[in-house]
Amino acid sequence: MSKHVIVIGGGVAGLEVAGQLSKVGIEVSLIEKESKTGGHLNNWYKLFPDRRNSSEVKEYLNGITANNGINLMTDTTIEKFNRSRSCFSITTNGGKELIADAIVVATGFDLFKSARKEEYGYGIYDNVITSADLEEMFRKGEIVLTDGSVPESIGIIHCVGSRDEKVGNYYCSKLCCVTAVKQAIELREHLPESKVFCYYMDMRMGGAFYEELYREAQEKWGVNFIRGKVSEASETIEKKLMVKVEDTLAGRPLKMNLDMLVLMAGMEMSAGGEKVAGMSGLKTGENRFFAAADNHFGSNKSNIEGIFYAGTCTAPMNITETISHARAAFTEVMEWLRNGKR
Amino acid sequence: MKFDPFIIPFNIGLYFILIYVVSRSVIWFRDLSRPDKLRLQRGFFGIAFGLSLKEIFMESLIHRKIFKTNIRLGYMHMSLAFGWFLLILFGTIEADIFSAKHLNAPYKAIFFRFFNPDHGRMGFEAAYGFLMDLILAFILSGLLVAVLKRFYSKIVGMKKTTRLKMSDRIALTSLWLIFPSRLLAESFTCGAYGTGSFLTGSLGAWFATFLPAQQMAYPFWWLYSISLGTFFVLLPITRYMHIPTELFLIFMRNSGIKTGDKTGTYSEVQTYSCSSCGICIDACQLNFSAGITNIQSAYLMKAIRNNDDVSEIADNCLMCGRCDQKCPVGIELSPIRMIQRRAGEAENDFRNIYKGYFRSRQPIISEKAIGSSNYSFLHETDPEKADILYFAGCMTHLTPTIKNSMIKILDASGVKYNFIDEQGGVCCGRPLMLAGQDKEARELINYNSQMIWKSGAHTLITSCPICYKVFKESYYLDVEVLHHTQFIKMLIDEGSVKLNFLRNKVVYHSPCDLGRGSGVYDEPKEVLNHVSRLQKSNFEDGNSLCCGGSLANMKISSQKKKKIALEAAIELTKDNPDILATACPLCKKTFSAVTETRVADISEIVAEALIEKPVKKNNISNVKSIRELANI
């Protein structure tokens, strides 16, 4: 009898793990709350660090999930969760009950809601946008202010909702820095006349080829990096945005007038993930992400046998790491189905 | 019988405590500042003396305020204090009437039955004996509650009771022994002689049926004397010092003495007046929301009395003022805590001398110097002349919706004003003050004062209760300071703005610095009532909660702050309001992070209700009208 695995979440991690499982003949049900799979990847224009088109990764993911009989359930959420011995049963919002031998949680992340940092004026002032909004502008190929004009000076604020005790997020989302660098380059590319300023606390360029991209942004594209956290943004009479920031390298306070402000929203545990955690008894950590059974050799395992994690539901990760993590989840699931399950 | 050696412990204790209290009062009086000495002298011959006698009766004996908070706890305190007072009073009268001569030594009254075992057989004597037994029964009932409370605090409706130190324990034990030993001593004596009333008489008669009452009585008279003596001798180094000290406190307070910003007689008298009743512990959100149970005011008072290092305790406080509001003794807890904050950790080389009986006072300077502040980068400004200034404050700049709403309201009202910190201002100074850095705060206050003075304004409107409190209290300016809720109330009363009725269900959270801190409770609620359906909550006015976001706590973790905010938000939104309204940008920010209910400042709600284009252009420039209205 073939085994059945439920994958919760149809983003990069969910698609990868579902694809790998279906390839070896395991029956897979993929639950996705949106009407199409792909998750946050759908909102991206180009990817760091090599700035390839995001559709290439999407094509790959569609490729491995096609033709293997994955039971894809879009517009579906989980309403009930039960566990008896080592079998799991999940009831969906449509009232359908699924019985599975293992579950892979790939609920991903939510972007920090930038309106919570009211001092940056998202939702209050025109032309304060988030990194996700800017990606969408790039995809449309139109970077304009609300009045239709082209911005001349653009500020990018790093660490919005990351490393911020005031909003209760101590952790580093680790990808906003490189996203900012990528977007700064693309802004300069699209708007050669514009000036771009990045306000950062630290530049965390830990990934492969990130530092190179950072150097390129400075040398080739003339992006200005200012070390200091923006304290607040306000609107001037001419409807420009004024930011107050301390340049901590020069040791002086600055006030700058900008046309557009981009907030690098951090990553938070997804609302869907929190719902799953509440229903299933899966443990979450102090950062509210799912807590892995072991940080070093059990990052796919949960506190419940037979439930595994894949991707950013456990911590911020880039696409490369997410895919690796999902493949690791696949091997853990296989091990469980072959030897672990009683 | 005239004398028996068993009275010696009592006599030693009694004369010791009398001499001690007198010398302590002399020291306290000597240490008062000259103006305070004059206040006290004037109070002695004035109305303050009468008021104090009344208050001493109501609070020190009856414990009216504790009754108000908690009937069972009130009964416990009253039966012990008032009962003991009656026992001494009527005991003295008894000894005076029924003894051979008048004006007896105190021990004659206290041990009356020992020296007059045959007394109280009939008539008036017996009736008097009945009264004395009744009083003793009254005290014993309270004592029973006290004993139960110590082991099971919920019996009196308290969640927590104070922890004790060693000398407190001994004093407590001797206090507990006093009245039972008196009961037994009297009962045995009565049993032996066949006297006594309903309590001592019946108990004694019963004892006499199976015990040698005559022989049993004597050891209990010794025990009674020893417990009294021990209690009196230990009194000055235990929390029971509050019994004599509270009398001084009440008199000093009625004479108009205030805590001020340095340690002195008054702060010390207040510290010793704390009975560790524990009401502040139950009132404290750090206790019931965040599980921090060692920093409440009762513990601060105790630590100061013990000359412990209190900086950890002093800094771990939201300064919400809930305990000030609830303290039955009326100790000015927040000012005393502020004094300790100014002291910091610098001055701890003081010592207990005479083992705590005479405490050398901690020399606390009013200004703590941590390095040197340098605000020379602040340039002098020349603000535009205006009658009315709007000072948004830093927190309002961090919540621009409030700022924008205020601009909208100000513009609609037709008032001519100058938005003085539009381009960013200088801090009002209160955060530094709360950190005990008065000197640095004063520099900022001077800078802002100069700017306000230069503008020639007569009214200053601010959106932040933190700024409001410091402008009101620590700026010496001839300017009427209004919180924006007061200003909006004024505009509504004058008809300068016209507002729609929004039909929203709104619950109001009173910010600490505006409500308890500055006494502004009504205007915000009146404004909300004008534009929306205002709901009642269980935490109104003086009993309102702290949002947890307070700048004052320098020790608490952000998770614990969040817990306080979450629990407060849950309490406030119990009746599912559409909006959780507040009048403070910091409260707004704190609550927004923890509740799904919309959180809004009153100015935002008013700005939404605003009917654009004022009916008539109104120009308030009349100094008098503003002042009069502000005084409503």
Instruction: Tell me what the pLDDT averaged over chain B comes to.
Output: 87
Same domain, A228 and A318: no
- B595 has a chain A CB within 8 A of its CB: no
Count the alpha carbons within 13 Å of B178 in the hemisphere toward its beta carbon: 23
Instruction: Please report, in tens digits, the pLDDT of each residue of chain A (342 residues total).
Output: 589 999 999 999 999 999 999 999 999 999 999 999 999 999 999 999 999 999 999 999 999 988 778 999 999 999 999 988 778 999 999 999 999 999 999 999 999 999 999 999 999 999 999 999 999 999 999 999 999 999 999 999 999 999 998 888 999 999 999 999 999 999 999 999 999 999 999 999 999 999 999 999 999 999 999 999 999 999 988 889 999 999 999 888 899 999 999 999 999 999 999 999 999 999 999 899 999 999 999 999 999 999 999 999 999 999 999 999 999 999 999 999 998 776
Structural domain ending residue among the three candidates A244, A266, A288: A266
Same domain, A175 and A261: yes
B73 touches B154 (CB < 8 A): no
CB contact under 8 A, A119 and B401: no
Pairs of CB atoms within 8 A across A/B: 36
The tokens describing B607, both together, are 């700005």
Q: How far apart are CA B384 and CA B389, in angstroms?
A: 10
Q: Which residue of B has its CA nearest to A120?
A: B398
Q: What is the mean pLDDT of residues B64-91?
A: 91
Q: Which residue of B has its CA nearest to A114?
A: B593
Structural domain ending residue among the three candidates A266, A287, A322: A266
Residue B558 has its nearest CB partner, among A121, A124, A165, at A165
Residue A244 has its nearest CB partner, among B404, B424, B558, at B424
Same domain, A205 and A67: no
Same domain, A243 and A276: no
CB contact under 8 A, B399 and A119: yes
Q: Which residue of A has its CA nearest to B398?
A: A119
Q: State the total domains in chain A.
A: 2
For the cut 70, the answer to whether the pLDDT of residue B625 exceeds it is no
Q: Tokens 């980068």 identify what position?
A: B377
Helix H or strand E encompassing A112: none
The C-alpha of B402 sits at a distance from chain A's nearest C-alpha, in angstroms, of 10
Residue A118 has its nearest CB partner, among B558, B562, B589, at B589
Which of B404, B406, B557, B604 is the best substitution to test chain A (most A C-beta atoms within 10 A)?
A: B404
Q: How far apart are CA B545 and CA B156, in angstroms?
A: 23
Lowest mean per-residue pLDDT among B29-43, B97-111, B613-627: B613-627
- B92 has a chain A CB within 8 A of its CB: no
pLDDT one-digit tens code per residue, B132-149:
999 999 999 999 998 888
Q: What is the mean pLDDT of residues B227-246?
A: 91
Same domain, A284 and A260: no
Q: Is residue B17 very low, low, confident or very high in pLDDT (cuts 50, 70, 90)?
A: very high
B107 touches B7 (CB < 8 A): yes
Q: What is the pLDDT of residue B439?
A: 85
Residue B559: CB atoms within 10 Å = 12
Same domain, A291 and A184: no
Q: What is the pLDDT of residue B1?
A: 58
Q: What is the pLDDT of residue B615?
A: 47
Same domain, A132 and A246: yes
CB contact under 8 A, B400 and A234: yes
Q: Which residue of A has its CA nearest to B404?
A: A124
**Which residues lie across from B499 on neighbouring strands?**
B610
- Which residues of chain A does B400 touch, with a Cβ-Cβ cutoff of 8 Å? 118-119, 121, 124-125, 232-235
Q: What is the pLDDT of residue B348?
A: 46
Pairing of strands A128-130, A260-265: parallel
For the cut 70, the answer to whether the pLDDT of residue B353 exceeds it is no
- B562 has a chain A CB within 8 A of its CB: yes
CATH number at A33 reads: 3.50.50.60
For the cut 90, the answer to whether the pLDDT of residue B396 exceeds it is yes
- Which residues of chain A does B592 touch, with a Cβ-Cβ cutoff of 8 Å? 116, 118
CB contact under 8 A, A119 and B397: yes
Same domain, A72 and A213: no
Amino acid identity, position B75: Y
Q: What is the mean pLDDT of residues B186-201?
A: 89
Q: Which residue of A has its CA nearest to B591?
A: A116
CA distances from B561 to A336, B297, B463, B550, B625 (A): 42, 19, 23, 9, 42
Q: What is the pLDDT of residue B384?
A: 87
Q: What is the pLDDT of residue B475?
A: 93
Residue A124 has its nearest CB partner, among B397, B401, B589, at B401
Same domain, A166 and A208: yes
Q: What is the pLDDT of residue A175?
A: 95
Same domain, A235 and A296: no
Q: What is the pLDDT of residue B363?
A: 56
CA distances from B490 to B556, B581, B609 (A): 38, 19, 16
For the cut 60, the answer to whether the pLDDT of residue B622 exceeds it is no
What is the full DSSP assignment across B540-581? -GGGPPP-S--TT-SS--HHHHHHHHHHHHHHHTTT--SEEE
Q: How far apart are CA B247 and CA B245, in angstroms?
A: 5
- Phi-psi group of B397: left, alpha or beta (phi > 0 → left; psi -120 to 50 → alpha; rest → beta): alpha
Q: What is the pLDDT of residue B370?
A: 56
Residue A168 has its nearest CB partner, among B589, B592, B593, at B593
Q: What is the mean pLDDT of residues B430-459?
A: 91
Q: What is the pLDDT of residue A44?
A: 95
For the cut 80, the answer to whether the pLDDT of residue B631 exceeds it is no
- How many Å is the maximal CA-CA distance in chain A? 71
Structural domain ending residue among the three candidates A266, A291, A306: A266
Beta-carbon contacts of residue A221 (< 8 Å; ≥ 6 apart): A184, A185, A188, A189, A196
pLDDT one-digit tens code per residue, B505-560:
999 999 999 999 999 999 999 999 999 999 999 999 999 999 999 999 989 988 89
For the cut 70, the answer to whether the pLDDT of residue B368 exceeds it is no
Same domain, A174 and A144: yes
Going along chain B from its start, the domains and CATH numbers come out as: 5-238 (no CATH), 258-359 (1.10.1060.10), 388-492 (3.40.50), 495-609 (3.40.50)
The tokens describing B40, both together, are 């006290």
Q: What is the pLDDT of residue A320?
A: 96
What's the domain range around A239?
Answer: 114-266
Q: How far apart are CA B142 and CA B19, in angstroms?
A: 29
Q: What is the pLDDT of residue B351?
A: 46
Query: Which chain A residues touch B if contact means CB-CB below 8 Å?
Result: 116, 118-119, 121, 124-125, 165-168, 231-235, 244, 255
For the cut 80, the answer to whether the pLDDT of residue B304 exceeds it is yes
Amino acid identity, position B366: S
CA distances from B478 to A89, B459, B472 (A): 73, 9, 10
Same domain, A275 and A184: no
- Which residues of chain A does B562 touch, with a Cβ-Cβ cutoff of 8 Å? 168
